[in-house]
Amino acid sequence: MLFSKSLRVGSIIAISMLFMFAWHVSPVRGAECGDVDNNGTIDISDLSYFVDYLFFTGPVPAPRVCFGDWDATGAVDMSDLSAIIDHLFFGGPSPSVGCCAAKPLFASGVEYSSGTGPHSTFSADLNGDHHPDLIVANDLDATVSVYFNHGDGTFVDRNTYAVESNPLSVFAADFNGDGHIDIAAATVNANSVSVLLNRGNGTFYPYSTYAVDQKPKCVYGADLDADGDVDLITANAYSNDISILMNYGNGIFTHAADYPIVARGQCVRTADLDGDGDLDIAALNQNDNSVSILLNDGHGSFTDQVPFQVGSWPHWLFVCDLNNDGRQDIVTTNQGTDSISVLFNDGHASFASRIDYQVGPNPRGVYAADFDGDGHPDLAVANFGADFITILLNRGDGTFGTLMNITVGANPIFVIGDDLDGNGTVDLHTANYGGNSASVIKNLTNH
């Protein structure tokens, strides 16, 4: 990207003056290198030549450029000074100006055929070989698919298990305490959760059914009453509540206890939000553009919900300590504005006003983990209106920059991560609703 002399506007001159003296008089000029034009030779860019051009009649330069194959297309991409100018003069986010990666952060997605209308994925070691396997909930054919891991992040052909109608969400944990991972699926049109217990070898018994309230969109598991076993929670769209199924400890669950939220429950997650040592609940209200917080009394019962506003028409949420202050924060995807909202926790389950970031079209799933090995959780967003996921890297303080897009299957609706190939880094996998597939995206960094 070359700058013409017509772009000598005040903002560019001002930022150039910050570096002019040091970089003009110094014989050492920092350069970034990469084969940008794909001609087999290395290209060079240097900001000091940009200063020479503006003030000392030097030749027309390229701006300082960071090189890397950000979108894993095999071509070298670059970032430039526009982010710095936007931050200093137009209120944009703080940019990262350090050295860029010499190689892509993630490989291109590898697709595996699923059932019809895959809506969510999960990973867990189902057959006891110490490698995480994949589970996919297939909305339109009332099944879950199981894929065993070869140990290197590649997977064998799927096994398929029937559940009740329209499974939208899947979760896996040891429900009956036998040391083997079981499966739960939220089946929206059956108003139930289907539970499949593991035979001990990664195959599953026929499902048992547990009734919940109307149109469960999501199921999640956690030990809510601190008795050592995994309970289940659903977010219910039509009854505007959540349902809790307490585990007897043997993989059999109580009748559902329902707690009201605001409007159209879409997703639910748990974390210790108020710092008292027990697990609280965050539930997404799609019609109210909010997240409801329900605090645990320490025995698995919950207070009345308190809502906090997020962006328009939110679809999913994730809970994570984004700014490394020891408090669990919240991020949501917002379909109505093609954005995500970040809410920081004050430590007492009260959340600051949201900060929004633009992502791809119609964002659905969101997941947080440290992708680049710097100790700070980054974000991955599944964009249903495109065929890619968006990665946002954490600057270290819970703010995000460096967007990169990674191509996956058609209409990715869900994204989650795990170390699928055993190399110590977090890989990603997606459910691609329009492609009838799951994509595996391997992390290429070395911690």
Query: Mean pLDDT of successive 10-residue segments in the chain (447 residues)?
Result: 41 45 36 40 44 48 42 46 55 49 80 98 98 98 98 95 98 98 98 98 98 98 97 97 97 96 96 97 97 96 96 97 97 97 97 96 98 97 97 97 93 98 97 98 84
| Residue 61: per-residue pLDDT | 40
Torsion sign across C-alpha atoms 274, 376, 105, 50? positive
Within 8 A by CB and 6+ apart from 415, the residues are 365, 366, 367, 380, 381, 382, 389, 428, 429, 430
Q: Which two tokens stand for residue 73?
A: 């297309």
| Residue 38: per-residue pLDDT | 37
| Residue 194: per-residue pLDDT | 98
| Residue 402: per-residue pLDDT | 82
Please tell me the distance from the alpha carbon of residue 52 to that of residue 65, in angstroms, as a whole number.
Answer: 16
CB atoms within 10 A of CB 189: 14
Max intra-chain CA distance, the chain: 79
Please tell me the distance from the alpha carbon of residue 370 to that of residue 377, in angstroms, as a whole number.
Answer: 4
**Under a CB-based contact definition with an 8 Å cutoff, are residues 292 and 307 in contact?**
yes
Q: Identify the CA nearest to 216 among candidates 328, 115, 119, 309.
A: 119
**Under a CB-based contact definition with an 8 Å cutoff, are residues 389 and 405 in contact?**
yes
Q: Report CA Rg, the chain.
A: 24
CA angle 265, 266, 269 (to 5 degrees): 95
| Residue 92: per-residue pLDDT | 58
| Residue 157: per-residue pLDDT | 87
Q: Which two tokens stand for residue 21?
A: 């003296």
**Under a CB-based contact definition with an 8 Å cutoff, are residues 234 and 243 in contact?**
yes
Q: Identify the CA nearest to 388 among candidates 132, 102, 123, 70.
A: 70
Within 8 A by CB and 6+ apart from 88, the residues are 11, 14, 15
CB atoms within 10 A of CB 446: 9
| Residue 120: per-residue pLDDT | 98
Distances 409 to 118, 125, 431 between C-alpha atoms, Å: 11, 24, 8
H/E element holding 194? strand 192-196
Please tell me the distance from the alpha carbon of residue 193 to that of residue 211, in angstroms, as a whole number.
Answer: 6
Q: Tell me the β-bridge partners of 110.
A: 440
**Under a CB-based contact definition with an 8 Å cutoff, are residues 341 and 355 in contact?**
yes
Please tell me the distance from the alpha carbon of residue 332 to that of residue 117, in angstroms, as a whole number.
Answer: 23
| Residue 90: per-residue pLDDT | 59
**Under a CB-based contact definition with an 8 Å cutoff, are residues 226 and 242 in contact?**
no
Q: Which two tokens stand for residue 385?
A: 């209106």
Residue type, 93: P
Q: Tell me the β-bridge partners of 363.
A: 383
**Under a CB-based contact definition with an 8 Å cutoff, are residues 106 and 372 in contact?**
no
Residue matched to tokens 């064998």 = 156
